Chain A
Amino acid sequence: MNDSAKKTYWKSFAQRDGCLDANEADPHQAGPAPFSRRHFLEAAGFTLSLATLSGCGRAPEVIALPFVDQPEGMIPGRSQTYASTCAGCPAACGLLVGVRDGRPLKMEGMPEHPLSRGGLCAIGQALPLGLYDSHRLAQPLASGKVTSWEDVDESITRLLGEVKQGNGAVRFVTSTVTSPTLKAQIDAFLAQYNDAKHVTFDAVSCSAILDAHEKTHAARVLPHYKLDQANVIVAFGADFLGTWISPVEFTAAWQTRRAPTKKHPKMSYHVQFEGRLSLTGGNADRRYRLSPVEYGGVLSHLATTLSMLAGEDPPAGRLSESPIAATEIDHLAEKLWDARGASLVLCDSQDVSVQVLVNFINHLLSNYNKTLDIQRPSRQRQGNDADVLNLVEELKAGKVAALFVAGTDLTHNLPDHKAIAAGISKAKLVVSFAERQDDFASLAHFVCPDHHPLESWLDAEPVAGLVSISQPTLQPLGGTRSILESLARWSGDSDSAYDILRASWRENVLPRVEPRPFQAFWDKAVHDGFVNATPIAPTVSEFQSDTVALVDAEPSGDDYTISLYSKVGLTDSRHAHNPWLQELPDPTTKITWDNYVCVSPTAAKELSLSNGDLVRVETDEGSSVELPTLVQPGQHDRVGAIALGYGVRGTDRFADIGPKWLEGRPTVAPGELVGKNVASLIETRDGELQYTVSGVTLTKSGGRRDLASTQEHHSLEIPRNVAPHGAEVRDIIQETTLEEFAQDSHAGTPHAHHHGDTQLWAEDHTKSGHSWGMVIDLNKCTGCSACLIACQSENNVPVVGKDEVRRQREMHWIRLDRYYSGAGDDVSVAHQPMMCHHCDNAPCETVCPVLATVHGDEGLNVQAYNRCVGTRYCANNCPYKVRRFNWFKYEREDALQNLVLNPDVTVRTRGVMEKCSMCVQRIEEGKIAARQRDEPVVDGNIQTACQQSCPAQAIVFGDMNDPESKVHGAFEDPRRYRLLEEFNFRPSVAYLRSVKNREAADGGEHHV
């Protein structure tokens, strides 16, 4: 009977969805019946129901398609790693691309890379999501219509011929080009025309530094800053740990001087002067709130004092009143002077005279060629604002015949949008290489989309002498074409990008390394990702002191100064379409999906503003913008700060992101964009684009716009009215000073009663094998949030949209807790990565009714998603609040982006709990790999995603039972502490106490 039922079932695969229904059964199958049909059916029904019970629920048929011809070395299910170069920004960090079954999935830092040292920022991590973006152009466009490459090539070649004949001006605008091959290709292309020029335009430019060096060293170079050589770092506004020039490299270098040990209680001294509260400022030992317009004043005083210490004449010029106390200046000058040759003064001012002063100070301190390398300069910012402004004038005058723009959105990022657009319309040929319909591309006659960096061959030379390769990791998804090939076509060449690159390396790179056959050299270069070559040194003159003059500090009146900055993890408009980065909370403000005006609490009080109130920003030149307010402690009272790179064309697509339900609000209201473009506020002065705009009025405009913040409460200090006596501040962040640390390496331990580790019950669980643990050095962690995206990419963490973030339901497994401490507007900042602590006495495990979360015998708190029924009891009972619940089914706004999913990690459905698993898939992979080699797991072979990419190398993970492991060592560190230790949760995650190089009673803040 059972069999017959099964057979019936098997025959009808078409009906396989349903089970065999008792009513449909043919009674005659069961054999001769001794009684009536009706009675038979009664009995048969019962029997059949038994039979069908065991025949129910067949899974749908799954077709498995093997290769026809399996490519050599390709094993389905195995991940392969390719060396490449990150193209997220011109910093060009080393990249390892993890490719699984033909899909690049996970970006990791390249540990051997001399600049990034294994680190990778959030933008680099988020590259694959940008790759699988259906909004990227898949075909070239002519006048906004899809067309073929042949037609485009034909038209452009024809128009170029006309331009050539008419001797028209050809202008080629790019963002900083670090690729020597592309640079050569552009030069070769332009060489065909009489009036041709390559204009480099950086959306956030450092042009003044280069121009200042042209003055002082007769070479327009950007020094290569070596923060690992610097004992004293004084930065004026430069957010070098966050966004400035090459943040990953700088973080990696900076952290090497931030690890005092018991034996060597030494660390660098980092002072930050800034108007807004930047990521770097938050990590400084001493931070001065100083309006950017006052940088010159302080630098003038510093230069004067240092000149006296050096026994030289101070620079000419009037010395205005110092914005900070003379004793402070003297103290700082002394520190700098003592660290001659191992100190560094950095400044992000776009005022050339200020930068000249900075050069002078660095020169006085003999820092050149020690902490600032201009023999092997950096190529990471080459923007020339004077050229750009010149181009704008040319455009307005209609003097440009052909305009090419690559790697930047020319109109979005420049202030005078309308005039430029009008100028562009006068040109004969306007070509954009943009990968999507950006602001400029919509004005261009032709859009010739370049490949995504993960699809194309290219190279980079971020610092003279370090040449790296960027290799494709999959076939192009659309019909895009490498810019190298496009330029070749229009020059009448038909070479592929690969050929062009190889030819360029044969000619330009091979001669710069020790002689060897090209193929061997090339193979090694592609394998390693980079080569060290002899740098082509610029001709640098001696320091020309006659260019130096003191700068008059402009009195900062009652008007506000607006500081335009780049948000960490988004920088300019290029990545605005990346939902991971849009949802990445700003490390300091913790706001997602918006830009806003940061004002200090004092200013907010004066203007009667609170978070979310719309404020109108008006410059004295008449441009204005209306944005929500964010009250930001630590900000200068006369400075407002707004992030650039928002209001990007096409971001209205995010109206579809996140769950849709009765009370749900769209991330972007219809017709709106994510944030607002504030490029219109940029001023031009002295041939530079100025991101500091003074003479601004702020007025409350009445409306509101809710900001989506991932953190509601901001300080360790609990609200005064509910603070119990003696427990006003929680000792969650433990901090000490270098001075105290040198005396007692345990300094900073709170004076709490600890009852030891005694257990009330029998100790049944001894971890005899591995015991995974993690230690995070709070002294190194800058809060840059790269780990957050690394985790999101590795663990298939969904994007939830603005409304869900506003409801405190973001899904990131790592939360970067940010606390302010200190009184009033002068605050000190602490960052603390917070993920599942894998407690040995985990409160979450006890309460789960269905055993969905239990403890593994290697110390991991495991979450079996498929068992979870979603009571949320575990999340309630988690003292660290690190569990994340799938409130909805978070479908992607762009279905193509499902390709970014890591097949090693289950995608969670609605209604289940999830949390940091300590990358258990990597642990299992590492263990299996070791078992196959028949050897024990080697410390460092298993790395969590967050650890791998941490630019500061603040995260150590490993087997605590292995006495040789780094994590074991870190657990022995006197700075080690565990959070909420007094509750005996026994977490497997620990922190290393933060040590600040400041005086004991010093809040780290100085009122100006």
Chain B
Amino acid sequence: MSDRVLLATFEHEDDLLAATDAVRRSGFKIVDAFTPYAVHGLERAMGLRPSRLTWVCFLCGMIGVLGMLWFEHWSTSIDWKLDVGGKPWNSLPSDVPVAFEAAVLLAGFGSVFALLAVSRLFPGKQPQIINPRVTDDRFLLVIDEADAGFDTAAVRKMLQEFHALAVEEKITLPGGDLQ
């Protein structure tokens, strides 16, 4: 990524989608897009791959269910065998509810923490706000100007076709973090 990026502001998600699609087709590198809500189809337009957080969720869930089942079995029929209501030492049906809850708890927390970690979200983080209206009613597209053949004027023109409200050039902060 170079230091220079091109920012395009849109008012409607349709414009953003179309512009994104067009920019990507033209072979430009899209750094990111910023939207006030989840715009469906944007990931396809940007050419992003589906998130792998589902696997984290699945893994945590498995750890939860297996870990809890093992603990229940170990504590009731190995560590100290106690006769509870004449039930067998290892009574699998009664282990199910807690194992299930443990699975849900771990899967839920696992995936949320994974999300925060992957997206580098944490309390006290000060993101660079390019346009404060991006969380209200503006859609932003950030295009990398790194390409040697990057023709700013042409791109500008292309973006205007998609009703871009404004197109401007920006220099990224040290560290390359635009966010």
Partners in one complex: yes
Residue of B nearest to A767 (CB): B83
Note all chain B residues with C-beta closer than 8 A to A765: 83, 86
Cβ distance A38 to chain B, nearest Cβ, rounded Å: 23
Note all chain A residues with C-beta closer than 8 A to B89: 764
Say whether B88 contacts A841, CB under 8 Å: no
From B85, B88, B91, A855 is in contact (CB under 8 Å) with B85
0/1 string, B71-98, CB within 8 A of A gives 1: 0000000000011111111010000000
A986 to B88 alpha-carbon distance, docked (Å): 15
Say whether B91 contacts A841, CB under 8 Å: no
From A761, A839, A851, A856, B87 is in contact (CB under 8 Å) with A761
Say whether B86 contacts A840, CB under 8 Å: yes
From A762, A839, A846, B84 is in contact (CB under 8 Å) with A846
Note all chain B residues with C-beta closer than 8 A to A986: 86
**Residue from the set B82, B84, B86, B88 with the largest chain A CB neighbour count within 10 Å:** B86
Say whether A851 contacts B82, CB under 8 Å: yes
Residue of A nearest to B89 (CB): A764
Note all chain A residues with C-beta closer than 8 A to B84: 845-846, 851, 854-855
Interface of B is mostly: loop
Say whether A854 contacts B86, CB under 8 Å: no
Note all chain A residues with C-beta closer than 8 A to B91: 761
A844 to B83 alpha-carbon distance, docked (Å): 12
Cβ of A731 within 8 Å of any chain B Cβ, yes or no, is no
Cβ distance B81 to chain A, nearest Cβ, rounded Å: 9
Say whether B85 contacts A846, CB under 8 Å: yes
Say whether A845 contacts B88, CB under 8 Å: no
Within 8 A of B (CB), among A739-768: 759, 761-762, 764-765
Chain A interface, number of residues (Cβ within 8 angstroms): 19
A759 to B87 alpha-carbon distance, docked (Å): 9
Within 8 A of B (CB), among A834-848: 839-846
Within 8 A of A (CB), among B39-89: 82-89
Cβ distance B67 to chain A, nearest Cβ, rounded Å: 20
Note all chain A residues with C-beta closer than 8 A to B88: 761-762, 764
**Residue from the set A759, A845, A986 with the largest chain B CB neighbour count within 10 Å:** A845
Say whether A846 contacts B83, CB under 8 Å: no
Note all chain B residues with C-beta closer than 8 A to A845: 83-86
Say whether A843 contacts B85, CB under 8 Å: yes
Interface of A is mostly: loop
Note all chain B residues with C-beta closer than 8 A to A762: 88
Residue of A nearest to B94 (CB): A846
Cβ distance A844 to chain B, nearest Cβ, rounded Å: 8
A843 to B87 alpha-carbon distance, docked (Å): 10
A765 to B87 alpha-carbon distance, docked (Å): 8
Say whether A841 contacts B82, CB under 8 Å: no
Say whether B82 contacts A846, CB under 8 Å: no
Cβ distance A840 to chain B, nearest Cβ, rounded Å: 5
A856 to B87 alpha-carbon distance, docked (Å): 13
Cβ of A153 within 8 Å of any chain B Cβ, yes or no, is no
Note all chain A residues with C-beta closer than 8 A to B85: 841-846, 855
Cβ distance B98 to chain A, nearest Cβ, rounded Å: 11
Cβ distance B62 to chain A, nearest Cβ, rounded Å: 26
Cβ distance A861 to chain B, nearest Cβ, rounded Å: 9
Cβ distance A770 to chain B, nearest Cβ, rounded Å: 14
A986 to B87 alpha-carbon distance, docked (Å): 13
Cβ of A528 within 8 Å of any chain B Cβ, yes or no, is no
Cβ distance B93 to chain A, nearest Cβ, rounded Å: 9
Cβ distance A756 to chain B, nearest Cβ, rounded Å: 16
Say whether A841 contacts B83, CB under 8 Å: no
Note all chain B residues with C-beta closer than 8 A to A857: 83
A840 to B86 alpha-carbon distance, docked (Å): 6
A854 to B88 alpha-carbon distance, docked (Å): 13
A839 to B85 alpha-carbon distance, docked (Å): 8
Cβ distance A518 to chain B, nearest Cβ, rounded Å: 59
Cβ distance A408 to chain B, nearest Cβ, rounded Å: 54
Cβ distance A980 to chain B, nearest Cβ, rounded Å: 15
Residue of B nearest to A856 (CB): B83
Cβ distance B90 to chain A, nearest Cβ, rounded Å: 9
**Residue from the set B83, B84, B85, B89 with the largest chain A CB neighbour count within 10 Å:** B85
A187 to B52 alpha-carbon distance, docked (Å): 107
Residue of A nearest to B80 (CB): A851
Cβ distance B78 to chain A, nearest Cβ, rounded Å: 13
A851 to B86 alpha-carbon distance, docked (Å): 13
Within 8 A of B (CB), among A863-887: none
Note all chain B residues with C-beta closer than 8 A to A840: 86
Cβ distance B77 to chain A, nearest Cβ, rounded Å: 9
Residue of B nearest to A854 (CB): B82
Cβ distance B148 to chain A, nearest Cβ, rounded Å: 54
0/1 string, B115-152, CB within 8 A of A gives 1: 00000000000000000000000000000000000000
A764 to B89 alpha-carbon distance, docked (Å): 7
Note all chain A residues with C-beta closer than 8 A to B86: 759, 765, 839-842, 845, 855, 986
Cβ distance A423 to chain B, nearest Cβ, rounded Å: 69
0/1 string, A672-699, CB within 8 A of B gives 1: 0000000000000000000000000000
Cβ distance B127 to chain A, nearest Cβ, rounded Å: 31
Question: What residues of chain B have their CB less than 8 Å away from a CB belonging to chain A?
Answer: 82-89, 91
- The 10 tightest CB contacts between A and B, nearest first, are A846-B85, A855-B83, A841-B86, A845-B85, A762-B88, A764-B88, A854-B82, A845-B84, A765-B83, A761-B88
Q: A840-B86, A855-B82, A855-B83 are in contact. List 12 more A-B contacts (CB 8 A).
A: A759-B86, A761-B87, A762-B88, A764-B87, A839-B86, A842-B85, A845-B83, A845-B84, A845-B86, A851-B82, A855-B85, A856-B83
A/B interface sample: 11 pairs, CB < 8 A: A764-B87, A840-B86, A841-B85, A843-B85, A845-B83, A845-B84, A845-B86, A846-B85, A846-B87, A854-B82, A855-B83
